[in-house]
Each structure stands twice: as C-alpha cells, then as structure tokens.
Chain A
Amino acid sequence: SQKIEQNSEALNIQEGKTATLTCNYTNYSPAYLQWYRQDPGRGPVFLLLIRENEKEKRKERLKVTFDTTLKQSLFHITASQPADSATYLCAPTGGGNKLTFGTGTQLKVEL
C-alpha cells in the first residue's frame, strides 16, 4: 500500500540557518507533490506544488526538490526565522483532486 514518511521527531535549528525537511514515499509514483504549513490549532496552509518533471521549485525563502528516482522530496527554508516554526506536511499525489498527506514534521527555529 502507499506509504508516506516524514520525520516524526521535531527538527530544531538556529535562526538564520537552512532547515531541510524530508518526505519519502513508497509503493506509488506521484505526478505531483504539495507542501503545506500547519500551525497549532489551525488548518494547513498551501505553500508549494511541484510536478514530477520539475526537479526544483522556489518561492521566496522556500525551495522544494522532487527526486522520482529516490522517491523523495526535500523542503528547504533558507535564513530561517522563529516565525517559520510550525509543522510542515507533504502530500505526494498521483493526480485528481484527492490528496494523501504525510504525518508532518515539526520545525522549531530558535533564537
């Protein structure tokens, strides 16, 4: 069955450093991959979408890569700030309107 893995342990980094979060998937070949941010007690907010034929996508301080050979996406936040602290969810999907989400990785950016 389809499986999505994100680090369950929180990632703690210092302000100004680059945070890198990992999303691995097995037993399927998604054509798209979305990343969302979720703050405590709030709904997820869409950040970026990358297609299987795109190796990398950027938006301001965010960068996403999509390696279909490794079955992995990396999500980078450069020059991280305490305001970036949140849980980040990936959703690799084959298409259509249904999304399947990973469990998310909590990021904590410390001063």
Chain B
Amino acid sequence: DGGITQSPKYLFRKEGQNVTLSCEQNLNHDAMYWYRQDPGQGLRLIYYSQIVNDFQKGDIAEGYSVSREKKESFPLTVTSAQKNPTAFYLCASSIIRGEGNQPQHFGDGTRLSIL
C-alpha cells in the first residue's frame, strides 16, 4: 500500500543534542512538507520541498534543517538551536498540479520530548 512512513513514533532528546526524524513516501509525490503541532495550535509549516535537492523555509524554520536527496525521502533534523523542540512532528506529501492546492497525505507523526 502507498503511504508515508515516519519513524520513530516516539523520540527523546537530551539537551544540546541534534536528532533526525525520518519521513519516507512511496506515493511518487513531488512535494513534501514538515509541520509541527502543539496543543491548542494549528499545524505550523517548518520546511517544504517541491523537487529533489531544493527546499524552502516555512513559517518556523529556525532551529531546524532538512535535506531532499531522494524523491522518496525528506528527513528533518531538530538542532540544539531549537530551544523548545517538544512537539508532535508531522510529515506530508502531495502531487504538484497547475492550479495548486492539492490534498496532502500525512504520516502518523513523531512525538519528540526533551529528557
């Protein structure tokens, strides 16, 4: 079955440590996205990519980094510069079509906590 796989489901980070969240899709989608979700807040866009080897900052990119070396993969690194990393992280993908605004397909998220 096609879909998006995020791993791990739960992740713990020590102070000063970088951690990388995995996101893989087999939907053959061109665009991929990373969101952060906090209680009582909507999903906030961290980074997105519309093509391999290219990505753009979203609304809250500070303290995060990404890469897009393969179409199927879009890993997110939460760096030590991100002072409040505890959150639920969601990865999504979509096709790109002329009129835009295509539905996004989401993974089941990674919950990151600070030890």
Contact = CB atoms under 8 A, between A and B. Distances in A.
A76 to B, nearest CB: 20
A41 B108 contact: yes
Contacts of A43: 4, 6, 90, 92, 106-109
Interface residues of B, number: 29
B11 interface: no
Contacts of B58: 98
B17 interface: no
B24 to A, nearest CB: 14
Interface in A4-25: 4, 8
B43 A96 contact: no
A35 to B, nearest CB: 10
Interface of A: 4, 8, 31-32, 34, 41-46, 49, 89, 93, 95-104
Interface of B: 4, 6, 31, 33, 35, 40-43, 45, 48, 50, 58, 90, 92, 94, 96, 99-109, 111
